[in-house]
Amino acid sequence: MKNSLKMAVLSAAAIVMLAGCGTDKTAIKDDNPAQAKVEDASAPKTENATPEKAATTEEKEPEKAVEETKDIWTYYNNATWTDDFNGVKSTIEKVVVTDKAPKDGNENDLTASAVGVKFKIENTTDKVWTTYPDQAELITSTGEQLQPEMFLSDHLGGEIEEGVIKEGNVIWYLERGHASDIKWVKIKWYVTEGDGMSMDGKRKEYAVKLELK
């Protein structure tokens, strides 16, 4: 009974941690999110509400106070790259850096340095592939070789089924120096055929170098 209660508490804590990741100050602005592929709907729209009713509804809606979160990132939107490996399209859409990231998770201490990369992976084939951009290694011009912050990064790794698009951000915290001093970054990861266990599957190792300055 005690063990069951302990596991329940730990599970609840984990859910809270994961839910909080998307709302902290490390969130990267996304101007072009991936859209689902839908059929063209040609049926005419039905308008049920009259202009008078619509105005009444608008008047009844309470005003909502919007609290804007200051964007800590510097965006390098021209630091892009794309490749098509046997129908698996891998894209880096932007690189961002900051010297105002929360240190040790403390949002009141914005003194840490970090790098973020927005990935988009699309499987245009009818086969299963495996890739782990969310475990990509980052090398910087300032002499650092880093593993990503898994709890702050989006889940992009694992098998990617036919027709699936995975899109999200991967974040690395620097161990020394300032992100603003970085002139280029190199990102290393791979794409492999199947579940990644076969020695005979097609595989491609990426080492993408992007100039920031």
Residue range 155-204, pLDDT digits in tens? 999 999 999 999 999 999 999 999 999 999 999 999 999 987 777 889 99
Instruction: Tell which phi-psi region holds residue 194, choosing left (phi > 0), alpha (psi between -120 and 50) or beta.
Output: left
Asked, for residue 34, whether it belongs to a domain, the answer is no
Q: Report which listed range, 13-22, 31-40, 57-66, 123-132, is most confident.
A: 123-132
Q: What domain count does the chain have?
A: 1
Task: Please indicate, yes or no, if residue 2 is contained in any of the structural domains.
Answer: no
- Token representation of residue 145: 């070789």
What's the number of CA atoms in the CB half-sphere (13 Å) around residue 174? 25
Residue 119 belongs to a domain: yes
Query: Is 54 part of any domain?
Result: no
Tokens for 67, please give them: 């609290």
Domain span at 86: 73-213
Span 64-107, pLDDT tens digits: 444 445 799 999 999 999 999 999 999 999 999 999 999 998 98
Which CATH number does the domain housing residue 189 bear? 2.60.40.4170
60: buried, middle or exposed (CB in 10 Å: 19+, 13-18, 0-12)?
exposed
Both tokens of residue 123?
Answer: 């499987």
Evaluate whether residue 37 is within a structural domain. no
pTM over 0.75: no
